[in-house]
Amino acid sequence: MTKPILLDEQLCFSIYQAHKVFNHFYAKALEPFHLTYSQYIVLLVLWEQGSLSVKSLGQEVGLDSGTLTPLLKRLEKDGWVTRQRSKEDERRLDVSLTDKAKQQKDVIYAHVGSCIDAIGLSNDQYNQVKSDVERVQKLLSNVPDTTFAKN
């Protein structure tokens, strides 16, 4: 059966809306630290993995240099990261956390964690939705380009 065309019945719209509500949620949660959601996930990766090149960082978060370069410049301006050319390969730019970022890690983790707990999702629900969404995402990624040819 063909999928519905009514806006309210479309999965893409649910995900689009959920993304926006999540963005708003994180905007609120990160307000005390003057961080956006995108900036936060970049910091998350650096907290997890240490210094990375723009390229590697981009692979982790799914963003290219067109998005990351200005974002990282803002993070640098606000004292969260440093950016410097790699000695081994001058094409690379190494992004590292500042002391401020390292020190704030636990505070931010704790605050964001408590906000997430307040959503009121059980662990089972949380994991259920997450795996469902990931299945959709994988299916979407695998749709071949030939699908879109118009006859």
Partner DNA sequence: CTCAAATTAAATGTAAACAATTTATTAGAA
Partner DNA sequence: TTCTAATAAATTGTTTACATTTAATTTGAG
* Site residues (vs DNA, CB under 7 A): 16, 20, 23-24, 36-39, 53-55, 58, 62-72, 74, 83, 89-93
Cα–Cα distance for residue pair 33/106, rounded to 1 Å: 13
Q: Running DSSP on this structure, what letter comes out for residue 87?
A: S
- Evaluate whether 94 touches 51 at the Cβ level (below 8 Å): yes
Residue 102 contact among its own copies, DNA, none, beta carbon within 5 to 8 Å by kind = none
| Residue with Cβ nearer its own copies (28 or 100) | 28
Match 């719209």 to its residue by tokens.
Answer: 13
Calculate the CA 10 to chain-centre distance.
24
Q: What would the two tokens of residue 53 be? A: 């090149």
Residues that bind its own copies (CB under 8 A): 1-3, 5-7, 9, 11-22, 24-26, 28-29, 31-32, 37, 41, 44-45, 48, 60-62, 109, 111-121, 123, 125-126, 128-130, 132-137, 139-141, 143, 145, 147-148, 150
Calculate the CA 73 to chain-centre distance.
17
Give the nearest distance from C-beta 120 to DNA in angstroms: 22
Integer distance in angstroms from the first to the last C-alpha of the chain?
21
Give the nearest distance from C-beta 126 to DNA in angstroms: 21
Cα–Cα distance for residue pair 148/100, rounded to 1 Å: 48
Residue 83 contact among its own copies, DNA, none, beta carbon within 5 to 8 Å by kind = DNA
Residue 55 contact among its own copies, DNA, none, beta carbon within 5 to 8 Å by kind = DNA
Cα–Cα distance for residue pair 103/74, rounded to 1 Å: 19
| Residue with Cβ nearer its own copies (31 or 89) | 31
Residue 100 contact among DNA, its own copies, none, beta carbon within 5 to 8 Å by kind = none
